[in-house]
Amino acid sequence: MVETTSVAKWFLYVGVFNALFAVFITIPMIIPDNTASEDILRIAFAVANFPGLYIIMGYLGFLVVGVAGSVAWGAAYYILGSAAGKNQTSKGLAITHLLLATIGIYGAATLFFVGGYTGGYARLTGVVKTVEDAMVLITWTVMPRMLSIALAIIGNLIGVINVFKTARSKAA
């Protein structure tokens, strides 16, 4: 068993780290690369060429699940402890929840980004001419991306189970 406020801090720390990481990975999209012989904002322009849109999908998914989701879980555990008076929760379930959800969102966001950048940039530079050719180029990202999404979902379901189990517990 572990204190619910400790678990709340874990999730809050991960949420803050993820927010800082989101800022860090945004830098290449907003600061020009003057060493490039092509367009200075390659990533931003890759987005305009489907499947480059996957970059935005991965980034928004990371912001929603990785940043806001982690902070929300921290709030849920904090409220469970402070407002509901349930001061202890399962340490094993909380750690499993945190690890699977975090690994899952990092994996999914990374694979969305890599697939979007590879496919979008290939279309932008003319390496491939059609969306279908670009999709063939990035098919290797599909199964690992789905596995990562599944990990994030399973992690969050474990969190739901842990919160309900803790809320229904007799001990404070």
Domain around 95: 2-168
Q: What pLDDT digit, counting tens, does each position of 46-61 carry?
A: 677 788 889 889 999 9
Residues with Cβ within 8 Å of 98's Cβ and at least 6 positions away in sequence, in order, are 7, 10, 11, 14, 155
According to DSSP, residue 11 is labeled: H
Q: Decide: 109 and 54 in contact? Cβ < 8 Å.
A: no
Model pLDDT for residues 97-151, shown as the tens digit of each residue: 999 999 999 999 999 999 988 888 888 888 998 989 999 999 999 999 999 999 9
Other Cβ atoms within 10 Å of 73 Cβ, number? 27
Residue 37 has pLDDT above 70, yes or no: no
Number of domains in the chain: 1
Residues 81-106: pLDDT tens digits? Answer: 998 889 999 999 999 999 999 999 99
Instruction: State the Cα–Cα distance between residues 171 and 72, nearest whole angstrom.
Output: 24
Structure tokens at 129: 């001419």
Backbone angles phi, psi at 49, to 5 degrees: -115, 100
pLDDT of residue 50: 82
